[in-house]
Amino acid sequence: MRKRLLLVFLVLFSTTLFASVPSFQNFSTPEFSNDSFIIVWDSNRPSAKDAGISSSVENISSIKQYDHLKTVEVVHLTDSADLKLSMEQARNVVGVKGVFLNYTVTALEDASSATLPNDPQFENLWGLNNTQGSFDINAPEAWGVTTGSEDVYIAVIDSGIDYTHEDLASNMWVNTDEIAGNGIDDDSNGWVDDIYGIDTYNQDGDPFDDNRHGTHVAGTIAGVGNNGIGVAGVSWHTKLIACKFLGSSGSGDTAGALACLDYIINLKVNKGLNIVATNNSWGGGGYSDPLYEAIASQAENDILFIAAAGNSSNNNDLYPSYPASYELPNIISVAASQRSGALAYFSNYGASSVDIVAPGVDILSTVPNNGYSYLSGTSMASPHVAGAAALIKASNSNLTAIQIKNLLLSTANSSVFNERSVAHGDLLLWGESNNGAINCQDMIQLNRFSPSLDRASASLGESVRVEAAIVNCAELLNPPSLLGLGESFTLNDTGVDGDLIAGDGIFSVDVDVTWTGGSSFQFEGYPESVFDIVSVEEPVVTTTEYQYIEIDGTPLSLSDDSYATLDVGFSITLPDGTYQEALTVWSNGIVAFDERYYSYSNTSLPLNGQESLGLVAAYWDDLYPSSETVVSYAVVGNSPNRQFIVNYDSINRFGYSSQTGDGYDVSFQVVFNESTPEILVNYKDVLATSAAGFSNGSGATIGLQLGGRAVQYSYNEALIENETALLFSSGGAKPSITTFDIDGIFRPNQLQTILAEASHPSTDVNLDATLNINGVITEIELGQEVDVSLNLGINTLQLVVTDGQRHVTSSREIEILPYSEAEQALMEQERLAGQADVLSDPAAHGLVSSEQLAIEYANGQNSVLNNPTEYGLVSSDQLEIEYANGQNSVLNNPTEYGLVSSDQLEIEYANGQNSVLNNPTEYGLVSSDQLAIEYANGQNSVLDNPRSYGMLAIAEIEHGVISSSDVEDLPEGVHLVGMMVDVENVAEFFGNVNYVWAYRDGEYFGYIGEGGNSEELITNSGYQLLESVSAGEGIWISK
pLDDT of residue 391: 97
pLDDT of residue 176: 96
First to last CA, the chain: 83
* Mean of pLDDT values over 108-116: 42
Instruction: Report how far residue 64's alpha carbon sits from residue 641's, in angstroms, rounded to the nearest whole number.
Output: 55
* Mean of pLDDT values over 89-93: 83
CB under 8 Å to 638, separation ≥6 — which residues?
Answer: none
With a cut of 50, say whether residue 1026 has pLDDT above it: no
Per annotation, catalytic residue among 213, 216, 384, 424: 213
Q: pLDDT for 562-579, tens place per residue?
A: 889 999 999 998 887 778
Q: pLDDT for 403-414, tens place per residue?
A: 999 899 889 987
Q: What is the DSSP letter of 695?
A: G
Look at 606 and 213; give whichever has higher pLDDT: 213
User: Taking the domain 444-535, which CATH number applies?
Assistant: 2.60.40.10
pLDDT band at 1001 (very low <50, low <70, confident <90, very high): low
pLDDT of residue 603: 86
Instruction: Report how far residue 830's alpha carbon sits from residue 10's, in angstroms, rounded to the nearest whole number.
Output: 86
**Minimum mean pLDDT range among 58-67, 299-308, 390-399, 1029-1038:** 1029-1038
pLDDT of residue 23: 33
How far CA 109 is from CA of 158, 249, 283, 363, in Å, comes to 12, 12, 10, 11
The identity of residue 94, as a single letter, is V
* Mean of pLDDT values over 58-73: 83
- Residue 1012, Cα to own-chain centre: how many angstroms? 63
With a cut of 70, say whether residue 143 has pLDDT above it: yes
pLDDT band at 968 (very low <50, low <70, confident <90, very high): low
Q: Are 533 and 464 in contact (CB under 8 A)?
A: yes
With a cut of 50, say whether residue 12 has pLDDT above it: no
pTM: 0.53
Residue whose C-alpha is closest to residue 897's, from 886, 905, 908: 886
pLDDT band at 91 (very low <50, low <70, confident <90, very high): confident
Which is it for the CA torsion 49, 51, 57, 61, positive or negative?
negative
Domain 444-535 matches domain 736-816 at the CATH topology level? yes
pLDDT of residue 1020: 37
pLDDT of residue 628: 53
Look at 1024 and 948; give whichever has higher pLDDT: 948
With a cut of 50, say whether residue 682 has pLDDT above it: yes
Instruction: Report how far residue 420's alpha carbon sits from residue 655's, in angstroms, rounded to the nearest whole number.
Output: 44
DSSP of 841-910 = -GGGGT---HHHHHHHHHHHHHHHHH-GGGGT---HHHHHHHHHHHHHHHHH-GGGGT---HHHHHHHHH
pLDDT band at 43 (very low <50, low <70, confident <90, very high): low
pLDDT of residue 988: 60
**Minimum mean pLDDT range among 360-364, 520-524, 764-768:** 764-768
Strands 304-308 and 363-367: unpaired
With a cut of 80, say whether residue 985 has pLDDT above it: no
Instruction: Report how far residue 446's alpha carbon sits from residue 477's, in angstroms, rounded to the nearest whole number.
Output: 10
* Mean of pLDDT values over 1020-1039: 41
With a cut of 60, say whether residue 982 has pLDDT above it: no
How far CA 767 is from CA of 607, 676, 780, 904, 985, in Å, comes to 35, 25, 11, 82, 91
pLDDT of residue 938: 65
Per annotation, catalytic residue among 110, 136, 158, 199: 158
With a cut of 60, say whether residue 629 has pLDDT above it: no
Per annotation, catalytic residue among 20, 281, 379, 729: 379
Instruction: Report how far residue 382's alpha carbon sits from residue 366's, in angstroms, rounded to the nearest whole number.
Output: 15
- The residues facing 275 across adjacent strands are 153
How far CA 478 is from CA of 465, 468, 503, 504, in Å, comes to 17, 10, 11, 12
Which is it for the CA torsion 870, 871, 872, 874, positive or negative?
negative
Domain ranges of the chain: 32-103, 122-426, 444-535, 539-712, 736-816, 973-1038
Look at 178 and 999; give whichever has higher pLDDT: 178
Instruction: Place domain 32-103 in its CATH homologous superfamily.
Output: VP9 protein domain (3.30.70.2070)
Q: pLDDT for 408-454, tens place per residue?
A: 988 998 765 556 788 888 999 998 888 899 998 888 888 787 787 77
**Minimum mean pLDDT range among 346-355, 500-509, 579-588, 753-762:** 500-509
Q: pLDDT for 154-188, tens place per residue?
A: 999 999 999 999 999 999 999 999 999 999 999 99
With a cut of 90, say whether residue 627 has pLDDT above it: no
Q: pLDDT for 316-367, tens place per residue?
A: 887 889 999 998 989 999 999 999 888 999 999 988 789 999 999 999 999 9
Instruction: Report how far residue 161's alpha carbon sits from residue 41's, in angstroms, rounded to the nearest whole number.
Output: 33
Question: Of the CATH numbers 3.40.50.200, 3.40.50.970, 3.30.470.20, 1.10.3720.10, which one belongs to the domain with range 122-426?
Answer: 3.40.50.200
CB under 8 Å to 533, separation ≥6 — which residues?
Answer: 451, 456, 457, 458, 464, 484, 511, 513, 518, 519, 521
Q: pLDDT for 937-951, tens place per residue?
A: 766 665 555 555 544
pLDDT of residue 378: 96
Q: pLDDT for 538-548, tens place per residue?
A: 788 889 999 99
pLDDT of residue 731: 65
pLDDT of residue 109: 60
Share of the chain above pLDDT 70, in %: 80
> CB 300: neighbour CB atoms within 10 A?
11
User: Taking the domain 736-816, which CATH number applies?
Assistant: 2.60.40.10
pLDDT band at 36 (very low <50, low <70, confident <90, very high): confident
Q: pLDDT for 209-242, tens place per residue?
A: 999 999 999 999 999 999 999 999 999 999 999 9
| Among 318-327, 600-609, 675-684, the range of highest mean pLDDT | 675-684
With a cut of 60, say whether residue 113 has pLDDT above it: no
* Mean of pLDDT values over 646-662: 74
CB under 8 Å to 624, separation ≥6 — which residues?
Answer: 560, 587, 651, 652, 653, 654, 655, 656, 657
pLDDT of residue 540: 83
Mean pLDDT score across all residues of the chain:
81
With a cut of 90, say whether residue 1024 has pLDDT above it: no
Q: Is 43 one of the catalytic residues?
A: no
pLDDT of residue 691: 58
DSSP of 172-199 = B---TTS-TTS-S-TT-SS-TT-SSEEE
Q: Is 849 one of the catalytic residues?
A: no
pLDDT band at 1004 (very low <50, low <70, confident <90, very high): very low
With a cut of 50, say whether residue 807 has pLDDT above it: yes
Look at 165 and 75; give whichever has higher pLDDT: 165
Share of the chain above pLDDT 90, in %: 39
Q: Is 384 one of the catalytic residues?
A: no
Q: pLDDT for 886-931, tens place per residue?
A: 888 888 887 888 887 777 778 888 888 888 878 887 887 877 777 7
